[in-house]
Structures are given as structure tokens and as C-alpha cells.
Chain A
Amino acid sequence: MMRMKNNMHALKRNLTGYLFISPQLLFFMVFLVYPIFEGIRLSLYKINYGNMTFIGFDNYKALFQDEVFIKSAVNTVVFVICIVALTVVFALFVASAIFDKNAKYVSFIRGSYYIPVMVSMVVMSMIWSFLLNPSNGLIPFLARQMELPVVNFLGDKDLVLPVIIFVTFATNVGQAIILYIAAMIGVPRDIFEAAEVDGASRIRVIFKILIPLVKPTTIYIIIINIINVLKIFVVIQLLTGGGPNNASTTLMYFLYNNAFKYNQLGIASSVGVIMFAIAMVLSIPQLRAMFKTN
């Protein structure tokens, strides 16, 4: 009798829990979990409008023989490494220089770097496309004034990557700066005071105390930036269209074109699965850190 009552109680408890999570779970299954499995399945087919033929791993084989895909993958890796490194270094520099200053000053600096993030990559790409326009943009004009050898930065296959890296970095670094400032303000003051009494210089304090203490923030910033740069798209579409001669194409741009321009849905799905795998592998350290604290 007692046992049955207990069982009833447990059943009711479980049911309540499931009831609370079910709406979120429903969306999650339909628009996230199912697409992942469906994407893996589609990547094994050749899809021609209504016609689907099972071809095993042929899409993947084709991809690794496709120069444009290889170029997209290499570019994406270059973007991820350069943008993440620049972001972490610069954001650490900014945050460590200002975190202990007057609150108004901190909020001004934070706002200045964060506003481009808010305004979105679409708008920022439009502005940069105007600033860099070879015939009437401000930057080529200044380059001509300084008699630089190149003025069409986006049309030059060697310069196009550095320019995209810079634009993406400049538009997104504000988020990392906000995170670092919040983390550094949270560090107890007496740690610095003790170091100061010992005669440690500010640079030493920053490198030996501050940077190690904000390491969880650094890991978080690295992960979210990897994920963000992995799907880099807008800036490519609006600034270069992947050119010149595919010099600036990326995985996401390649995926989009295959899916919605060339109607190669099988190929596009394979690219998505590869990107999914990369994202999962890269995020393991963050996930591990998160579950340790929970």
C-alpha cells in the first residue's frame, strides 16, 4: 500500500517535470534534433529536385576533390584562428587597461566597442563595402593619397583575407571586451592591493594575476567566437561575393551557394554535417567546464 502510494507519487512527480519541459522539448525536437539526423541522412543522397538516389559517401568524396570546397575550408580555418587570436589579445588589452578606472569612462569605452556588435554584421558590412569601394570609397582614396601600391583591397587575392579578418574582428571584438571587463571587475580588490604592497608592477599584476584569474572567460570567448566565425557569411556575401576567384569563400558561403543557388542539396547537407562535427569537437572543452560547475 505504502509502496503503491510512493510509486504514484513518483509518477506524478515525473509527469509534472515532463509537462514543464515538454513545450521547449517539442520545438527542440522538431527544429533542431530532427534536422540534425535528417541532415546526416540527406548527405548520403544525390538530390535532384524530387529525385533522391542513395550514393553513400560519394558527396563527401566529391567534396574533398573539389578545389573550391578545400579553399573554403582552409579560409574558414584561417579566419577562425586569426580572428579568435586577435579578439582575445585585443580584448584582454582593452579590458585590463580600463577595468579599474572610473565607471563612466568604462561604460563609454565599453559602449564604443559594443555598438558595432549591436548594429549587426549586415549594416557594418554595408558600411565597410562603401568605405572600401575602389572608385569612391574613403579608404582607397586615402591609399591613393599615401601612394600605396594597391587601392582595391577587396579585389586583390592576397589582401582580401586580411581585410575580411580585420572587418570581422573590428565588428565583433566588443562582445569579448564586455565579457572581460565584467570578469575583471569581479576580481576582489585586495588581491591587487596585496600585489601592490609587494611592489609588483601593473604589467606583472596583469600577466601574473589578472589574466590567469579570467581564464574561464577566455575559454568561453574562444568557444563562442569559434562558433561565430565558423558560420561567417554576411561579410563575404556583401563585401566580396567569395571573390576574387574564390579567394575569400568560406564553408558557410559554399554551403549556401550549393543549397540555394546550384540546388545541390546533397552536397550542401554534407558540408553542414562536416561543420556540425567541427562545432561539436571544438566545443568539448567548454561543455566539460560547464558541467563541472553544475
Chain B
Amino acid sequence: MLKRKNKLKQEKFDITANVIVLFFAILSLFPLYWLVTSSFKNSAAVVKMPPDWFPKTFNFQNYIDVFSNQPALKWAMNSVIVSLVATVALIIVSSLAAYAFSKLQFKGKNVIFIIFISSLMVPKEVMIVPLYRIVDQLGMVNSLHGMIWPNVATAFGVFLLKGFFDSIPDSLRESAKMDGASEFRTFFKIMLPIVKPGIGALFILYFVQVWNDYVWQLVIGQEEGVKTLMVGTATLMQDLNPNFAYKMAGATVAAIPMLVIFLFFQRYFTRGISIGAEKG
């Protein structure tokens, strides 16, 4: 009897907790709902109070304005190039390094690895002044190169991929070498295909990270032609145009690529993000 009463009480607690969780989940989507619906309103409707909770008319003019007044397509292209090249380059260099740290023996390996991993905790933004000077000396200010290459200098890829290489039995490498395969061939033909899920997770996570690398892109890309979507959209906020619907249309354009990526690759995120915590 007592037990059953207890059970009932427990369920009540569980249900209350879940109602709260659900309520906040919907609330956390509300700003995005407001963003998208506002972007379809005209300049008068968007500031009308009390507001239309659902837009009365669907007005695409703001989107047309964003793409015709602003080089939004160019910004988006720049963002794609920067994120894609930085991510692919990181995958190439960090899979080589992660394989070496996991499977090869060489002098100083542990010390180098410790220095590598310690750097994970330092946001590159704190070194923005010296980094800017170096990038300037290399002639990469106001160029996409300046946004790309510093992003390859992270231990994040090694950190993420090493665990995947660690889980491959050493015997596999030994038998490949027995067959006379070179180290690089073993890495490329046998090991790399096995860690594909890790590379997938790294690709998605890092692509998004570079896409959203706002401060650095803001500093490097001051000229109109090299602005990225994030920097360009943020300048809309300071635009003289007082139409908020127009600004919200710009923000929606900046949000859509990431939303699409998330909806298609949800499982990679869940897996990739968890890797760091499991090791901790």
C-alpha cells in the first residue's frame, strides 16, 4: 500500500519535471520562431504592438532586399570556402598526427602530445593581437587565407581522432606491415577507412565552429569582398535601415545553413560532442 502511494508520488514528480522541461524546450525555440515570422512581415507590421503572433501576410521583399542590397551570396560563398577549406585541411593534418600519436613510437611523443592537448584550453581569441600581426606579415589580412589557416592550428582534431585510432587493434597494423605495406599506405588504405565515423564527426563539428568563428573573421575581413556571412549579417544590425524585418531576414539567411546541417547530421553531433566528455 505504502509502496504504491510512493510510486504515485514519484510519477507525479517525474511528470512535473517533464512538463517544465517541455515548456522551456518550446520557449527556447521561440526566439527562432520570432526571427523567421518577423522576417516575413513588412516594415510596419514588424513593429506593430500588440504584435501579430503569426504574420498576416507573407512578404518576401525583405529577402529580395537582403540579396540585392547586400552581397549576401558573396558572404555565404566566403563562409562556405573558409569553413570547408579549414575543415578539410584540419582533417588531413590531424588524422596523420593522431595516427602517429596513437600507433607510432618516436622520441618525445608524450611531451609533444601533452603540449598539444594543453593548447585546447586556450581560446585563440586571447592571442588575437600577435596572431593578427603574424597574419599581416604573411600578407593574409583581408583575404580568406587569413581566416582559414590559423583555424588549422588546433589540437581539436588530434584530440577527437586519437581515440578512434586507439580503438583499432595493433595487430591490424602489424599484419599490414608484414605484408610489406609502407607506413603511409597502412595509414591511408587500412586505418583511415576504419576511423571514418570519427572523421565525419570532426567534419561536422569543425565546419560549424569555423562557420561561427565571428571575432576572428571580423578582424581579418574588413573589406567588403572578403566578408563572411556572420560578419556581414552582424553589420546589418548597425545598418541605417530602420526596418527590423529586413534585419531579421538577414539573420534568417545566416541561420538556415546551420539549421539544415543540424537536422541532417544530428547523430554526428551527438556522438562527436560526447567524445570529449567520455575521455574526461
Contact = CB atoms under 8 A, between A and B. Distances in A.
Interface of A: 13-18, 20-21, 23-25, 27-28, 30-36, 38-39, 42, 93-94, 96-98, 101, 107-116, 118-124, 126-131, 133, 135-136, 138, 141, 170, 174-175, 178-179, 182-183, 186, 199, 201-203, 216-217, 219-221, 223-224, 227-228, 230-231, 233-234, 237-238, 252, 255-256, 259-260, 265, 268-269, 272-273, 275-276, 279-280, 282-283, 286-287, 289-291, 293
Q: Looking at chain A's contact residues, is the secondary structure mostly helix, strand, loop, or mixed? A: helix
A268 B129 contact: yes
Interface of B: 3, 6, 9-10, 13-14, 17-18, 20-22, 24-26, 28-29, 31-32, 34-35, 38, 46-47, 49-51, 92-94, 96-97, 99-101, 104-107, 109, 112, 114, 116-134, 149-150, 152-155, 157-158, 183, 187, 208, 211-212, 214-215, 219, 230, 233-234, 236-237, 244, 247-248, 250-251, 254-255, 258-259, 261-262, 266, 269-270, 273-274, 276-280
B129 A121 contact: no
B153 A27 contact: yes
A114 B274 contact: no
Contacts of B131: 31, 35
Contact of B149 (A27, A113, A121, A220): A27
Contacts of A33: 119
A25 B274 contact: no
Given A120-B254, A287-B118, A24 B96 contact: yes
Given A123-B233, A123-B254, 17 more contacts: A20-B96, A27-B93, A31-B149, A32-B122, A35-B131, A42-B133, A94-B24, A97-B14, A112-B29, A116-B32, A126-B234, A131-B34, A174-B28, A183-B278, A202-B13, A280-B118, A290-B279
A25 B97 contact: yes
B116 to A, nearest CB: 7
B105 to A, nearest CB: 6
A74 to B, nearest CB: 18
A231 B269 contact: no
A73 to B, nearest CB: 13
Contact of A116 (B28, B38, B126, B214): B28
Rank and list the top 3 A-B pairs by shortest CB-CB distance, nearest first: A17-B106, A283-B121, A31-B153
A255 to B, nearest CB: 7
